[in-house]
Structure 1
């Protein structure tokens, strides 16, 4: 009976150590290729969605990134379908792992170009040109960006008006998902992720990080008093900065309350 009990103890101990090893962060090395022709792809962005770290592939299509078993890696490259891969034990054991990306097929529709009706008088033509109010500007020494154009409320007023509504998304997201907000801060600190977000307008990475839908992001920014023009035309990095700014205002008000 005692040998059997000893065997059981050893078995459970080995299983426990095995599970601990799986959770330990290691480095994965793999290569990204074009699914159509098997050619290696340079400058593909790779993000670990769980640990919020990023990197890019080298001239041979290779990349190395910190990860643990069951982490999710996100691959993005212009003109190719974004890909999510779950990290497995085999990816650590074998160094010949290949990740294939598929090219996007675009159906081009007829485009009608309507030139501006210019009069030849500069003062009149300038007034008739459409104005984009979606720009953001920054002030040296401050880490927060600001939207250009007239705004109807101050930073405190816009958040105060939002959090007084108990069903508001700001309270639901910021109050109940603090870990997601921590991810946003990490994203702002990673240069590779910031570079990728600055080139994207699809909100995919933000949706993956926050685990919300695109419409929820729009609602958050609406409640933070950002203009429709900014919400629809800003790149993903500007959207990240806008959400982070609103979150910081939300924390200030919560401390006062």
Structure 2
């Protein structure tokens, strides 16, 4: 009987311990201030992204921000002209409101730029003929909202498009380890206006790799297999890249519905 009572006591203690642990990771409002590391002046309109919860916000005119976070979440801070910074959230940061985060300005070395003007004649009919033409045709598929690039026009183009859609979706599953959470992140990123605004201003794929846990080369491989042109992959902003990767996977689900 004593052993049974002791056993129940231990189980009760473990249950209480588990509850205490769950409280420490409970989501709370984190309030902090972002400043310039050189001048200590507050920075307005700094993008702050919680990489774990896939939500974002920006600092106000006083450099202040408030965001939902739990202990050990990672915050990603980005501001034009400053080095991006990742901060691990601590219990003290959640408890107190006087946390200051300093961003460091970036030093840019300007390189020589050579501008080559177009050789225009002034006659529209002649100048139009000298404009480079994109020879990549696009094909639409019933059930899908957008068209796909498929190179030169030939009988195998449609087959090439279908293969391109089916192939990278399997690649996405393998890269994400077949985890549903990673698939949900794509949708959450597209729904958050602050994240979309930040991605629209970036071209370095840095935030995408952080949020999706992918390497830059993996993102390029997905888009290449999905038949996006090298020009698009090289020049598109991060929001366009996100929409392309997400669209590729969503199209895969449409084509494989019911299988």
Q: Say which SS state the counterpart of residue 31 (structure 2) adopts.
A: strand
TM-score by length of 2: 0.82
5+ residue gaps, structure 2, are: 137-142
> Which residue among 138, 160, 165 is the counterpart of 1:159?
165
Q: Are residues 9 and 245 of structure 1, via their aligned partners in 2, closer, same or farther at CA, if it must alter by over 3 Å?
A: closer
| Partner Cα distance (2:26, 2:225) in 1 | 40
Give yes or no for the alignment of 1:231 onto 2:230.
no
After the TM superposition, which residues 125-140 of structure 1 pair with which residues of structure 2 at under 5 Å, given as runs?
A: 125-130=127-132
- Equivalent pair of 1:53/1:190 in contact (CA under 8 Å): yes
Matches within 5 A, 1:37-186: 37-130=39-132, 152-153=157-158, 156-160=162-166, 162=167, 169-173=171-175, 176-186=178-188
**1:255 and 1:24, CA in 2 relative to 1: closer, same or farther beyond 3 A?**
same
How far the C-alpha of 1:38 sits from its partner, in A, is 0.9
Is contact 2:49-2:195 (8 Å) kept?
yes
TM-score, scaled relative to structure 1: 0.83
Distance 1:36 1:114 in 2: 39
Q: CA RMSD in A?
A: 3.2
Residue 242 of structure 2: SS of its match in structure 1?
Answer: helix
Deviations 1:141-196 (A, max 9, x none): x9966568968447644223x269xxx63441366233212101001111111111
Which residue pairs with 1:35 in the alignment?
A: 37
Asked whether the 8 Å contact 1:28–1:92 carries over to 2, the reply is yes
76-85 vs 173-182, which moves further: 173-182
1:61–1:48 distance in 2 versus 1, CA, 3 Å: same
Q: Any idea what the Cα deviations from partners look like across 1:58-84, whole Å, max 9, x if unmatched?
A: 000000001111111111111111111
Q: Structure 1, unaligned stretches of length 5 or more?
A: 135-141
